[in-house]
Structure 1
Amino acid sequence: MRLLKPLPMPDPGEPDARSAASYLLWILSKQWKTLVVAGMFGTGWMACIGALPGAIGYGIDQGVRTKDTTALLLWAGVIVTLAALMAVLGIIRHRLAVFNFLVGAYRTVQLTTRHATRVGAALPRRIATGEVVSVGSADPASIGMALDVLGRTTGSVVTFVAVAVILLTISVPLGLVILLGLPLQALVIGPLLKPLQRREHAYREQQGLLTSRANDIVAGLRVLRGIGGEELFAHRYTERSQEVRRFGMKVAAAGAVMKGLQMLLPGLLLVAVTWIGARAAVSGSITPGQLIAVFGYTTFLLMPMSTFLETARKYTTAHAAAKRIVAFLAVEPGVDDEGDKDAPRSFDVLEEPESGLRVESGKLTAVACADPEQAAVLGDRLGRYRDSDAHVDGLLLRDIRLDELRQLVLVSDNDSMFFEGKLRAGLDVAAGADDETVLRAVRTAVAGDAVDSVGGLDGHVDAEARNVSGGQRQRLRLVRALLTDAPVLVLVEPTSAVDAHTEALIAERLREHREGATTVVTTTSPLMLERADTVCFVDDGKVVATGSHRELMDGEPRYRAVVTRDDEDEGQERQ
C-alpha cells in the first residue's frame, strides 16, 4: 500500500451530508488507514517522551545512589536511545499529521468545487458569495486541523493511561489523583463547548455576509464612483465590519476562557501530584529516583492534557465548518440531469412554448424584450438553466443529457466570469483554437484594443478581468463565446456596454462569423436588430410580433417604443 498518495485525489467520493457530525465521521472513515498509522506513530513518539522520567529515575536509583558506573552508563544509553527514537518518530508523526490535514482539506475543497459545478449558474442565486468563499477556503482548513490533531490525541490517551498506571504502582494516591483529575477537567470544560460552538457558527455567518458585501462593492466600484456613493457604502461596510468584530470578540472571549482553563486545570493537577509525591518521599514510601520520576511524569502529563483540550477546541471549530459545508452541499442544482437522449446533430426549429419563441436553424434571430429581465429568463430557458418545455424538433431539452445539451446550446451573458491568468487561456477554454481562429473571433468582437491593453493573447488578465474596462470585458466575453463554435449560440445583451460605432461593426461581423449557424441575440439595439434574419418582440413574457426590424418598426408601435425609447410615440399610437 502506498501510504502517501498525490493530491488532489482522482475521486473524493460521495459525502454523507445528512448533518455536520455525519460529514465529519465520513471524512474520518475515508482516510482511516493513515489516521491509524498516524495514531501509532503518535503513540510511539509520546511513549518515548513519557518514558524519559522513568529512565532518569532508574538512573538515579541504580546508578547515582549506588555509585554504579555501569548502571549509570546503561541508563544514560537508554535515555539517548529514547531521545533518538523520539526524534525519528516525531518527524514521521508530523509528516503524517500534515498529510492527514492536506487530505481532509483537499477532499473538502474537491467536494465543494465539484458541487459548485453541478449547481452551475443557479449557485449565485442560492447562496451568498461570501458563503462560497468561506466554504472553499477557511472551512476546509478547519476540517484538516481536526484530522491533524488525531495522531497526537491517540498517543495522548495511551500514554496518559500508561503513566496513570505507573503512578499507581509507585503510589496509589498519586494514581488516583491522575485518574480522577481528568474527568473533573472534562466536567468543568464540557459545558463551555456548546456556547463556543454557537459563537463560532454566528461568527462564520457574519464573516460570509461581510465577504459578500465586500465583493459587491468591488464589483460595482465604478458605478459607486459615478453616482458618488463611495462614502455611503464605505460607512455601511464599516458598520458591518464592526459587527463582525463584535462577534469575533465573543468568540475570542470564549476561546480565552478555554485557553486559561487549559493552563489552570492541568497546573492545579500538577500541584496536587507534586505535593503528594513530595510528602511520600519525605515519609520514605518512595525513593528519590521515584520522586524525580514523579516530577517528570507530572510535567509530561501537561502535554496529553493540553492535547485533549486542543482536540475539543479544534473539533468545535470543525463542527461549525462542517455545518456550513453540509448546507452548501444541500444546495440543489437549478435543473436536474434527468435526460437520457443524445443532442441532435441537426435540427430545424428550437422552440420555447411558454413565450412562443421559435428559432430557425442556421439563422440569426434577434429577440427584443420590453422587460430587460425577460431577456435573461429566455436565455436561461433556451440553455435549460431553468426548466421549461423548450424543445428542438419536438425533443424536449429536459430529455437530453445535460452534458450533451451544454455542447449543443451555449448561453453567454454579462455575468460570466474570467479567471486570473493568461488571456488566451481565458478566451479559448477548450484550448483547441489556433492563432488564426482566435484572432478572427477577436476581430468579430472588435476586441483588438482589449487584447492589446493586457499585452496580447499571452498577456495577464486579473480575476474577473478587472484590468480592462467594462466595454472591453464585454467584448472579450463575446470572443470567448464565438471560440466555442456552439451549434446554438445565445447572446444576452452582448453590446450593451459598447459605443454605437463599435456596436455597428460587431453587428456586421457577427452575422458573417456565424453564417450558417444558429444564433440568438437578445437586444433592443437597432444596429443589431437590423442585421437579424428574424426579430421577435417579447412583451409581458410572450412573443407578440415577428418579422424583420423594418417591418416591426412600421407595424408594431410597442416595438418601436422599446427600440427608440420613445414612450410618447407608443402612447399616441395606442390612442
Structure 2
Amino acid sequence: MREFPEPDTGVPHLGSPLRFLLWFVSVYKAPMTFAVLFGSACTVAQALIPAAVGRGIDQGLIGQDRRALLVWSGCVLLLGLIQAVTGTLRDRCALTNRLGATYRTVRMLTAKVADLGAELPRSISAGSLVTISTTDLGRIGLALESMARGGGAVVSIVLIAVLMLVASWQLGGVVLLGVPLVAWVVARLMRRLHQRQNDLRERQGALTDLAVDIVDGLQVMRGVGGERVFAARYAARSQRVRSEGVRLATVEAWIAGCRLLFPGFLTTAIVGLGIHQVRAGVLSPGALVAFYGYAVFLAEQMRRLTTTVDRLTRALAGAQRIVGVLSAVRQTGSGTRTMPDHRDEFFLADPVSGLTVPAGSHTAIVCARASEADALADRLGHYADPPGGYAGVPLDEFPVDEVRRRILLVDRDPKLFSGVLADQLGCAADPDEVGRALWAASAQDVIDALPDGLKQEIGGGREFSGGQRQRLALARALAADPETLILLDPTSAQDAHTEARIADRVRAHRAGRRTVVLTTSPILLDRADHVIFVENGRVTAEGTHRELLGSPSYRPVVSRGVNL
C-alpha cells in the first residue's frame, strides 16, 4: 500500500505565492499530468457526444438508415463509457493532488511552528494562524484538484470551436469571440473578489487578535471595570468585518450571476443563429441539434473554467499567507559551537544587567518592574537579544536546540495542550520522576481529582483553574530536569500555604542544580540561597532576602503592602 502522505515534505519555493503553487505542481508532476490527460479525455468524449447524436439524427432518423442509427447509437454509448472511466480516473488523480498538497502544507506549517516555538507570537499573529488553518490550507488542495477539470475545459472549448468552424464559420466565430469575452468579464470580477477577500481576512485576523487579547486580559479588565469598553470596541470592529463580508458577498453574487448569465447569452446566440442557418439550408437539423448540445456543453465548461480561475485566485491569496509563515525565521541566533559540560564554575550571565548566576545555586531575582523581569528572563533563556552568556560564551554561539535542552524557561502564562495529561508530563520517559515532580509542585491533588488520573484526556487545560494549570506546568518543567531552570513568577496564582509548600519542595527537588526564580514573593525569596535586585535594568544589590530588606528601594517592591 502506498504511504500517504509522503514522509518527505521537500523544500518549497518561497519566492512568491505563484512559485509556491508551481512547486506543488512539480512535486505531483505524475498525478497532475495524468489528471489533466484523463480530464481532457473525459471532456473530449463528452464534447463528441452531440456530434454523434447529430449524425444519428441526420443519417439514421431523417435518412431512415437503421444501420447508421445503430452505429451512431453505439458511438454515443462508447463515448459515454469512455467519459465514465476517464472521469473516475481523473477524479482519483485529482483527489491525490488535493489531499497530498493539503497534508504536505499542514506538515510544513506544523514543522515551522514547532521550529519557531516560543518565538511564534513575535512573528505571526494568532488571527493569521486561525485564518490559515481554517481557510487557506484547503484552498491549496482545491486549486490543484480543479486544474484537472480546468485543463479539460480548455481542451474541450478548443475542440468545440474547431468543430463549429468546420461546420459553420459563423457559429465558430461567435464561439471564438464570445468565450474570451466571457472569460475577460469574469477575470475582472475575480480580481475585485481577490481584493475584497484580502480586506476581509485582514479585518478577521485583527478581530481575532482583539478577541484573544480580551480573553487573556479578562481578569484584569474586570478589576478595573473595562469590560464594557472592550466589548464596545469588539462590537464596532465586528460590525466592520460584517460590512466587509457583505461587500465580498456582493461581488461573489455578481460572479455567480455572470457564470449563468453570460454563457446563457452565448448559448442563445448560437442556437438562434443555428436556426437561421437551418432555414437557409446551410445546416442540417442534426447539425443544429449538435450545435445546441455544443452550446449547453460549452456553458458547463465555461463554468468549470471560471471555477478553476476562482480557486486559483483564492489559492494565491492563501499561498501568500502560508509563504509568509514558512519564510519566518528565528529572531535568536543558533551557532555551532559545542556547549561545555556542566561545571560548578560555569556561570549563567546577562550582559545587559551585569547579573551572574553560578551553577548549582537556588537564586532569586527581584526586578523593580515586571517588564524588566520579562526581558531578563527572555535574555537568560535565549529568547531575545542580546543573548545571555554561558561559561563566558554568548548563547547564540551554541546550537539553539542544545540551549533549549539545557536551559528551560517557564513563563508567566504556561500552556497545556489537548491530549492525555500523562503524555504532557513525560510519564512515558520516567513515571517515577513525574511523581516526584508532581509532589514538588504540590500538584498531586489535581491529578487525584481527575476521574482517570494521569490518563485523563484534557482539552488544553480549560478544565483547570489558573493555579492548577500553573502547578501542572511547574511539575512538567521539574520532570524535564534541565540543567538550568528559570521560573518567572511560578506561584503568582497560589495561596500563601500552597506557595510555601512549593517553595520548600522545589528547593529540595532542585538541590545541586541551578534554579533561577524571578519573583517578588517574600515566601519564595526567603527560601532562596541568594537574591539579586535589578533596578533600572542593572544589578544594584545582592544578598539574602533578609539582608536586602534594609534597602529602601528593595523593600517596597517585595512588601506587597504588608509589614515585613
Q: TM-score, normalised by structure 1?
A: 0.92
> Which SS does the other structure have where 2:175 is aligned?
helix
Q: Does 1:537 align with 2:551?
A: no
Query: What residue in structure 1 maps to residue 543 of structure 2?
Result: 547
> Which SS does the other structure have where 1:333 is aligned?
coil
For 1:352, the aligned partner's letter is D
> Alpha-carbon deviation of 1:363?
1.5
Q: Distance in 2 between matches of 1:11 and 1:199?
A: 36
Contact 2:4/2:100 (CA < 8 Å) preserved in 1? no
Query: What residue in structure 2 maps to residue 67 of structure 1?
Result: 64
Query: What residue in structure 2 maps to residue 383 of structure 1?
Result: 381
Query: What residue in structure 2 maps to residue 491 of structure 1?
Result: 487
For 2:421, the aligned partner's letter is L
Q: Deviations over 1:259-286 (max 9, x none)?
A: 1111111111111110121122222222
> Alpha-carbon deviation of 1:223?
4.7
> Which SS does the other structure have where 2:206 is aligned?
helix
Q: Does 1:159 align with 2:152?
A: no
Q: Does 1:310 align with 2:307?
A: yes
Contact 1:113/1:136 (CA < 8 Å) preserved in 2? no
> Alpha-carbon deviation of 1:81?
2.5
> Alpha-carbon deviation of 1:228?
5.0
Query: What residue in structure 2 maps to residue 516 of structure 1?
Result: 512
> Alpha-carbon deviation of 1:218?
3.3
Q: Distance in 1 between matches of 2:37 and 2:311?
A: 21
Q: Distance in 1 between matches of 2:333 and 2:31?
A: 37
> Which SS does the other structure have where 1:334 is aligned?
coil
For 2:399, the aligned partner's letter is R
Q: Deviations over 1:218-246 (max 9, x none)?
A: 33445555555444433332222211111
> Alpha-carbon deviation of 1:30?
2.8
Q: Distance in 2 between matches of 1:363 and 1:559?
A: 21
Contact 1:424/1:457 (CA < 8 Å) preserved in 2? yes
Q: Distance in 1 between matches of 2:367 and 2:537?
A: 8
Q: Distance in 2 between matches of 1:49 and 1:136?
A: 38
Q: Does 1:557 align with 2:555?
A: no
Q: 1:143 aligns with which of 131, 140, 147?
A: 140
Q: Distance in 2 between matches of 1:540 and 1:15?
A: 46
Query: What residue in structure 2 maps to residue 116 of structure 1?
Result: 113
> Alpha-carbon deviation of 1:300?
0.6
Q: Deviations over 1:42-89 (max 9, x none)?
A: 111112211211221222223223333333233223222222232222
Q: Does 1:470 align with 2:466?
A: yes
Contact 1:410/1:486 (CA < 8 Å) preserved in 2? yes
For 1:358, the aligned partner's letter is T
> Which SS does the other structure have where 1:520 is aligned?
strand
Q: Deviations over 1:135-174 (max 9, x none)?
A: 2331112222221210001101111111111111211111
Q: Distance in 1 between matches of 2:520 and 2:223?
A: 24
> Which SS does the other structure have where 2:331 is aligned?
coil
Aligned length: 561
Q: Distance in 1 between matches of 2:174 and 2:52?
A: 23
Contact 1:343/1:408 (CA < 8 Å) preserved in 2? no
Q: 2:96 aligns with which of 90, 95, 99?
A: 99
Moved more, 267-276 or 193-202: 193-202
> Which SS does the other structure have where 1:204 is aligned?
helix
Contact 1:120/1:334 (CA < 8 Å) preserved in 2? no
> Which SS does the other structure have where 2:454 is aligned?
coil
Q: Deviations over 1:174-213 (max 9, x none)?
A: 1111111112223333333332221111111011112222
Contact 1:156/1:304 (CA < 8 Å) preserved in 2? yes
Q: CA RMSD in A?
A: 2.2
Match runs of 1:14-53 below 5 Å: 14-53=11-50
For 2:474, the aligned partner's letter is L
Query: What residue in structure 2 maps to residue 573 of structure 1?
Result: none
Match runs of 1:411-426 below 5 Å: 411-426=409-424
Q: Does 1:175 align with 2:158?
A: no
> Alpha-carbon deviation of 1:446?
0.8
Q: Distance in 2 between matches of 1:5 and 1:276?
A: 55
Q: Distance in 1 between matches of 2:223 and 2:78?
A: 72
Q: Deviations over 1:474-497 (max 9, x none)?
A: 111101111111111111110011
Q: Structure 1: which 5+ runs fail to align?
A: 570-575
Contact 1:355/1:542 (CA < 8 Å) preserved in 2? yes
Contact 2:414/2:470 (CA < 8 Å) preserved in 1? no
Change in Cα spacing, 1:511 to 1:567, as seen in structure 2 (3 Å) is closer
Q: Distance in 1 between matches of 2:402 and 2:284?
A: 81
Query: What residue in structure 2 maps to residue 353 of structure 1?
Result: 351
Change in Cα spacing, 1:92 to 1:225, as seen in structure 2 (3 Å) is farther
Q: Distance in 1 between matches of 2:446 and 2:350?
A: 35
Query: What residue in structure 2 maps to residue 81 of structure 1?
Result: 78
> Alpha-carbon deviation of 1:299?
0.8
Match runs of 1:180-219 below 5 Å: 180-219=177-216
Contact 1:354/1:389 (CA < 8 Å) preserved in 2? no
Q: Distance in 2 between matches of 1:117 and 1:216?
A: 23
Q: Deviations over 1:427-452 (max 9, x none)?
A: 22x84122x22221111111123223
Moved more, 22-31 or 407-416: 22-31
Q: TM-score, normalised by structure 2?
A: 0.94
Contact 2:441/2:475 (CA < 8 Å) preserved in 1? yes
Q: Deviations over 1:351-393 (max 9, x none)?
A: 2232121111111111111111212212111111112252222
Q: Distance in 2 between matches of 1:203 and 1:336?
A: 35
Q: Distance in 1 between matches of 2:387 and 2:105?
A: 36
Q: 2:475 aligns with which of 475, 479, 484?
A: 479
Q: Does 1:372 align with 2:370?
A: yes
Q: Distance in 2 between matches of 1:344 and 1:240?
A: 53
Change in Cα spacing, 1:389 to 1:460, as seen in structure 2 (3 Å) is closer
